[in-house]
Amino acid sequence: MSTHLEAARPAASSVTPARLRKLRTELHLQRRFRVGQLQDLAAAFAEPPSSTDEAERQVACALAVAAESALSDIEDALQRFHSGSYGKCEHCAVRIRWERLEALPMARFCTTCQYRKETSRPPQRP
């Protein structure tokens, strides 16, 4: 039996304005972290090569590439917030489930389209 309070409570997978604000705040925090990380890595690259061995420089380079990619994804998600398209799958336009957005706030695709994207293979050449 459903009570009035239960009916007023959002479903576990519904996206509410308060939840969207929480995600936007989280994205801004992640953006700040990535910008700081890139600044720290740039400072590490500014040091003379003799102070850092080649393996450490390669790791720093890989971290910088990953941080730039993450920052780009975060900025794309913030742009979707600005344009009003945040939370909709870029492929099929279905609303992305709250649980997915909560786990991955920069998600661009619903789980079905993401799965298809990751499992599709380009045609094999003879």
Read off the pLDDT of residues 28-58 as tens digits, 9 standing for 90 and up.
999 999 999 999 998 877 777 655 577 888 8
Q: Residue by residue, what is the 3-state secondary structure of the chain?
A: CCCHHHHHCCCCCCCCHHHHHHHHHHHHHHHHHHHHHHHHHHHHHHCCHHHCCHHHHHHHHHHHHHHHHHHHHHHHHHHHHHHCCCCECCCCCCECCHHHHHHCCCCCCCHHHHHHHHHCCCCCCC
Q: pTM for the complete prediction? A: 0.77
Distance CA 85, CA 77 (A): 9
Read off the pLDDT of residues 71-84 as tens digits, 9 standing for 90 and up.
999 999 999 999 99
Fold of 16-119: Four Helix Bundle (Hemerythrin (Met), subunit A) (1.20.120)
Read off the pLDDT of residues 64-110 as tens digits, 9 standing for 90 and up.
999 999 999 999 999 999 999 999 999 999 999 999 999 999 999 99
Give the pLDDT score at 15: 76
Give the pLDDT score at 121: 62
Q: Is the pLDDT of residue 7 over 50?
A: no
User: Which range (11-15, 18-22, 69-73, 109-113) has the least confidence?
Assistant: 11-15
Q: What is the mean pLDDT of the chain?
A: 85
